[in-house]
Amino acid sequence: MPTLNQLVLCKRPKKSRSLRLKSLQKNPQKKGVCVKVFITSPKKPNSANRKVARVRLSNKLFVTCAIPGEGHSLQKFSTVLVRGARVRDLPGVKYKAIRGVFDLSPVKDRKRSRSIYGASRPKK
């Protein structure tokens, strides 16, 4: 344990925090172009077909991002906006595409939690 004099002369070093999402480079979102759109199956207790896209971000880095919601309009060379959000049952998927921005269409016929899926307010 250091003495008081030692702490006055040489302060304790600050612990550096590691970035969880290095590809976003401290930005909330990044624009990217789809390289490949495909389907993967989740980890053990779950079973489904999850829609996933391999995206080349504007900083030349490649990430795998999930496409949330039912149905999508993505194909190769589509432009998407990517945010950081881990998909727990897909290993290696730490990003999600934002619906209703650029080429990724919003989810149709959605009444609740519309903001996540870019759905417009239903008419009365």
Would you give per-residue pLDDT tens digits along the chain (124 residues)? Answer: 999 999 999 999 999 988 889 999 999 999 999 999 999 999 999 999 999 999 999 999 999 999 999 999 999 999 999 999 999 999 999 999 999 999 999 998 888 988 889 888 888 7
| Three-class SS state of 43 | coil
DSSP one-letter code for 115: H
**CA distances to 2, 28, 50, 109 from 34, in Å:** 54, 19, 16, 25
Domains of the chain: 22-107 (2.40.50.140)
Element (H, E) at 55: strand 50-57
Q: What is the pTM of this model?
A: 0.83
Cα(86)–Cα(120) distance, integer angstroms: 25
**CA distances to 19, 35, 67, 90 from 42, in Å:** 25, 21, 14, 5
Cα(77)–Cα(37) distance, integer angstroms: 10
